[in-house]
Amino acid sequence: MNFELLHTDTQSRARAGLITTDHGTIETPIFMPVGTLGSVKAVHQHELKEDIKAQIILGNTYHLYLRPGLSVLEEAGGLHRFNGWDKPILTDSGGFQVFSLSDNRKLTEEGAYFRSHIDGSKHLFTPENVVDIQRTIGADITMAFDECPPGTAEYGYARKSLDLTLRWLDRGWNHFNETEGKYGYRQSFFPIVQGCVYPDLRRKAAEYVAEKGADGNAIGGLAVGEPTDKMYEMIEIVNEILPTDKPRYLMGVGTPANILEAIERGVDMFDCVMPTRNGRNGMLFTKNGIMNMRNKKWATDFSPIEEDGASYVDTAYSRAYLRHLFISQELLAMQIASIHNLAFYLWLVKEARRQILEGNFIPWKKNMIERVTRRL
């Protein structure tokens, strides 16, 4: 993988760049639709490419390991061939999912024992076998196995958790460099900066991670219960340390406003289930604010979902029609809303990139945050 930094904003840390992988090039900043089980919920592959214009999608190691399982993925030739997606794929390590199973997992120096949420069967994730699992899945970008403490964790717990994560990083990094991919193309490995909301721990983690010289670096453990201003503070602290010539990936974040604030602070890559999950529940994100499509106010509003929606997704559907679909519990409602929200997120980061390159990012971002946070 190669990262080319094209331009940095003169008034902030906002950056525009290019990531090149063996499955294609990614323009940054970028948003990655979440395809947990190898599928972005309610969205076809051709819609991802043509309507949403996704450049990379994300898969989840924990879920893909359980279903369809490694033997199926290996026999298929990896996730790209299994699901028909020929562009880049990133997999997270499964750490967040494992540690969210607080009643069904046990943490040790060796790794994390956990029980499947599907059938209760017992499994072990280690820094080494998580590398192997991601090798088998075949993602272009793979992640280190880490512990993700809650945003409200006390300092003592956060410190011990970080120390364990850094020891696991050494083991995962060494194993990655001692192994090869299975399908004839290159894979990259991103360490993850943890440290909860404590500046000294975040600095320690960022310095340790930066020394690895990996192809890129991730910032984890944010948007997990901490105040928003703390999240932004941690991003600023970490990005003062992480190398400028490598992409920075903020994991699991977030709202359109969160993304714009993080871009200003030097983040390049994002993923979040919000556009699809909220979309399936009737919440639409637009250039002019947030819409609850179940509200009666849309019942006779025959204007397009987005006033100038054709600029990023071609749809002939009206607000009244989409509300009708949701009220009637038609599956098409979830599909339309998911495509719309993902197309909006991809439009937002593409437009941010254009504004960075043209030198207008800060005034544009200020105006956009005022617009996208309104309730319509």
Instruction: Report the 10 Å Cβ neighbour count for 41.
Output: 17
Catalytic annotation on 119?
Answer: no
Record the tokens describing residue 183, joined without a space.
């399908």
Let me know if 92 is a catalytic residue: yes
Q: Please pick, among 92, 146, 215, 268, the residue that the annotation labels catalytic.
A: 92
> Residue 223 contacts by C-beta under 8 Å, 6 or more apart in sequence?
151, 231, 252, 253, 254, 258
Phi, psi of 200, deg, nearest 5: -65, -35
* Closest C-alpha to 197, from 229, 173, 174, 169: 229
Q: What are phi and psi of 31, to 5 degrees?
A: -110, 135
What is the C-alpha to C-alpha distance for residues 280 and 331, in angstroms, rounded to an integer?
9
Joined together, the tokens standing for residue 11 give 């008034």
Which residue out of 9, 51, 146, 271 is catalytically annotated?
271
Cβ neighbours of residue 229 under 8 Å, at least 6 residues apart? none
d(CA 262, CA 268): 8
Q: Which residues have a catalytic role annotated?
A: 92, 271
